[in-house]
Amino acid sequence: MPAYPVRRVCPYHPAAGHAELREVGPMRRVRLYDGRTTWLVTGPAEGRALLADKRLSNRADFPDYPVMDESHKHMRATREMAAEEEGGFAGALFGVDPPEHTRQRQMLIPKFTVRRVAEHRPAIQRIVDERLAAMLREPAPADFVSAFATPVPMMVVCEFLGIPFEDRQQFEGPAWGLFEPEGADDSAAALTAYIERLVEAKAAAPGKGLIDDLVAGQLRTGELTVSELAQFAQAILVAGTVTTSSIIGLGTLALLENPAQYAALRDNPDLVPGAVEELLRHISLVEQLARVATEDIEIAGEVIKAGDGLLVSFAAANLDPSVTDHPGELDVTRPPTNHLAFSFGIHHCLGHNLARLELEIVFRALVERAPVLRSVMPTDQIPTTLAGDVTRLLCFPVIW
């Protein structure tokens, strides 16, 4: 029985072992780090069917909920906070099931439609332009991560939520600290306290942003408490910065490692929207999502028993012929069909419209304003870390 997860060698592409895991069919058993076994779903059709199945739970307090690493048991951001008694951001949206999840999501969906997100285009464009101009004014080489890939998503999410970016010393460190086993509880407490103070301040003096909309609407009508609203804001703040900043850094590295791809976008920036989809598929930043069956489920000739844990492998599913005809290659001229980078079903990424808009603006600006951008460090020497299961560049020196 193969071991799982399969660790990355290249930071911007899942390990080749994912293709091997697909060879025996769309589902198989794998062995986790602690010797327990779980189902691994590698077929995209089966993955979508299961992610849309009401007989699966997202709650992490089931005994056989799959855990990727020992450290995750001690990280409030990935496991403990999903238990109802713990509270915190995973209890909002991520770690709950219907009907509670449905109630929460219905409050937020109107704020994340294509039309509502498009209203933020001028602000996102301004943020990207300003941060890119500031980086290009620096003496080369510059650290792409600290100069651009990290601040842009943080500023965008702050603008979207209505959080003052000048308060970043109060929330930026705790937001990243949620993914560190040591000190995660303190980070969670600090971040929660900051956002609750902000919500109370906005209740007294409304401003502009998603938090303000929820204060004026659901908070005043009693549909939300201050604590619940703070959980929503914390979830969106963390999810909208960790993943997007990682995709910007890893996506840029992938393009520069494949200079013909960067050149294709430079020569035809209209390819950028499709290129964003191809980067999301190729990188497969979130390689899998964990679930637990609450009833027996028959699928693909197998029976998932009630209580069984399972992992839906986006990294493997994104290699399927129904998704792409060039699974191991990056080709921005051939975008994928129906990739699973944003998950599927009731937990389909709420912020996917915002993420897509932000990434399109980012990569168009890069190829237009930094047409000869280059990496100055071999990829295998660029330091990386994991924020939960998400690969993140610690630095990325570039010249132009």
pLDDT in tens, 241-290: 999 999 999 999 999 999 999 999 999 999 999 999 999 999 999 999 99
Q: Which residue has the higher pLDDT, 95 or 134?
A: 134
How high is the pLDDT of residue 371? 97
> For residues 124 and 130, what is the distance between their CA atoms, to the nearest angstrom?
10
How high is the pLDDT of residue 2? 95
List Cβ neighbours of 321 (8 Å cut-off, separation of 6 or more). 327
pLDDT for residue 172 is more than 50 = yes
> For residues 317 and 327, what is the distance between their CA atoms, to the nearest angstrom?
10
> For residues 114 and 283, what is the distance between their CA atoms, to the nearest angstrom?
24
Q: What's the fold here for domain 17-399?
A: Cytochrome p450 (1.10.630)
Q: How would residue 77 be classed by pLDDT, with cut points 50, 70 and 90?
A: very low
Question: Mean per-residue pLDDT for 12-35?
Answer: 94
What one-letter code names the amino acid at 113?
Answer: T
How high is the pLDDT of residue 164? 93
How high is the pLDDT of residue 80? 41
> For residues 44 and 57, what is the distance between their CA atoms, to the nearest angstrom?
19
List Cβ neighbours of 367 (8 Å cut-off, separation of 6 or more). 262, 265, 266, 269, 272
Question: Mean per-residue pLDDT for 114-133?
Answer: 97
| CB 270 within 8 Å of CB 292 | no
| CB 400 within 8 Å of CB 262 | no
- CA angle (170 as vertex; 244, 168 as ends), nearest 5: 45
Q: Which residue has the higher pLDDT, 178 or 71?
A: 178
Tell me the whole-structure pTM to 2 decimals.
0.92
Q: Exposure string (b/e) for 112-132, b if CB count within 10 Å is 16 or more?
A: beeebbeebeeebbebbeebb
Gyration radius (Cα) of the chain, Å? 21
Question: Mean per-residue pLDDT for 123-135?
Answer: 98
β-strand pairing of 309-313 with 37-41: parallel
Quick one: which of 355, 365, 161 has its CA closest to 246? 355
For tokens 């660029």, the residue is 382
Percentage of residues of the chain with pLDDT beyond 70: 95
- What torsion, rounded to 10 degrees, do the Cα atoms 366, 371, 399, 363 define? 20
Q: What is the pLDDT of residues 82-120, one digit of tens each?
A: 443 443 445 677 778 888 888 889 999 999 999 999 999
How high is the pLDDT of residue 100? 87
Q: How would residue 73 be classed by pLDDT, with cut points 50, 70 and 90?
A: low
Q: Which of 81-90, 204-213, 274-283, 362-371 has the lowest mean pLDDT?
A: 81-90
Q: How many residues does the structure list for the chain?
A: 400
How high is the pLDDT of residue 74? 57
pLDDT for residue 228 is more than 90 = no
Question: Mean per-residue pLDDT for 288-297?
Answer: 96
Question: Mean per-residue pLDDT for 156-180?
Answer: 89
Q: How would residue 230 be classed by pLDDT, with cut points 50, 70 and 90?
A: confident
What one-letter code names the amino acid at 262?
Answer: Y
Question: Mean per-residue pLDDT for 120-146?
Answer: 97
For tokens 């895991």, the residue is 21
pLDDT for residue 174 is more than 90 = no
